[in-house]
Amino acid sequence: MKLAWTAVVLSALCFTKTTVAQAQPPKVLLQILHCAETGKFGLLPAATKKDDILQIAWAHKVRYEPYVDEFFIVRYAFATEGAILVYSRYYAKGKVHFSRINDAGFVVKSGNLQLIDPLYGLWTRANIARNVKRAMRGKRYSIPMGTLVGPFRNVGCHSHSDPE
């Protein structure tokens, strides 16, 4: 009888399917990706499809001297390479503004992160590398491009090459 009971319990456990809910990305991450992927006009580039899925990791850091609220976005193209976008956040006139302050590519070879062409100097490179590694250790989100299109009220998008 014990053997039959054990077989019933084991078969029930084997056939039950546990579902793990996909974690919802934070609102601030969606706002930044809206700026990164659609630009300040809220339009996707012509070659991009709304059903494309972004693979994203991110880290947030606040520096106090000088005060900068920074976000490090890792956009995976493949498991070991992709793009890095660095945004800062500030508030003005009832809106939250995101300004892209740096961008780079990355490759992970033999477990080592290599940045490709970030702007500025050694301290900035080290700051980006440190925070990108932190982002890569965190959650990875799958975000459909369609969620980034359309009006994001009270969000301003800016770039280091086009501040307005």
Taking only the tens place, the pLDDT of each residue in 73-123 is: 999 999 999 999 999 999 998 999 999 999 999 999 998 999 998 888 888
Residue 86 belongs to what domain range?
Answer: 23-159
- With respect to residue 85, please indicate whether it lies within any of the assigned structural domains: yes
Taking only the tens place, the pLDDT of each residue in 50-68 is: 778 999 999 999 988 888 8
- With respect to residue 6, please indicate whether it lies within any of the assigned structural domains: no
Contacts 24+ apart (CB under 8 A), 68-75: 70/101, 70/131, 71/28, 71/29, 71/32, 71/98, 72/128, 72/131, 72/132, 72/134, 72/135, 73/29, 73/32, 73/33, 73/36, 73/135, 74/106, 74/132, 74/135, 74/136, 75/36
pTM of the model as a whole: 0.79
* Number of domains within the chain: 1
- With respect to residue 3, please indicate whether it lies within any of the assigned structural domains: no
